[in-house]
Amino acid sequence: MSRLISNLYISKLFLYIIAMKELSVTEAREQFPALLNQAAKKPVWITRHGVDVAVVISPELFETLVEAQEELEDIAAVDAAMLDKSPGIPWEQVQKDLKLI
């Protein structure tokens, strides 16, 4: 199940990224207001002498990407925990250690 979720995030991100516009630093500087308008709709890739140097994205997309990354990290942690065969700590002991009871 977690691999399916991971693949869905990656597929969605890939489809979004392939639609990116690419501008040189010079073009980005000359078209800065338009660049910001474009970035509100889809990422804009910035290059300098043919080398990738930046990507301008909307704050909403940035938050979505951060949340997706955190979710993927959580999924990986759960997968690792499921594979861990060492004995766990009883819940009652955890509560005592954390002074919850």
> 76: domain CATH number?
3.40.1620.10
Is residue 19 within 8 Å of residue 25, measured between CB atoms?
A: no
Report the pLDDT value the prediction gives residue 87, as an integer from 0 to 100. Answer: 83
The pLDDT, as a whole number, for residue 71 is: 87
Backbone angles phi, psi at 44, to 5 degrees: -120, 120
Say what the pLDDT of residue 65 is. Answer: 85
Distance, CA of 87 to CA of 32 (rounded, Å): 57
Comparing C-alpha atoms, which of 85, 101, 84 is closest to residue 93? 101
Task: Look at residue 61 in the predicted model and tell me its pLDDT.
Answer: 86
**What stretches in the chain show pLDDT beneath 70?**
1-19
- Structural domain including 18 reads 2-97
Decide: 45 and 23 in contact? Cβ < 8 Å: yes
Q: How many domains does the chain have?
A: 1
Residue 86: per-residue pLDDT: 84
pLDDT of residue 55: 92
DSSP 86: S
- pTM for this predicted structure: 0.61
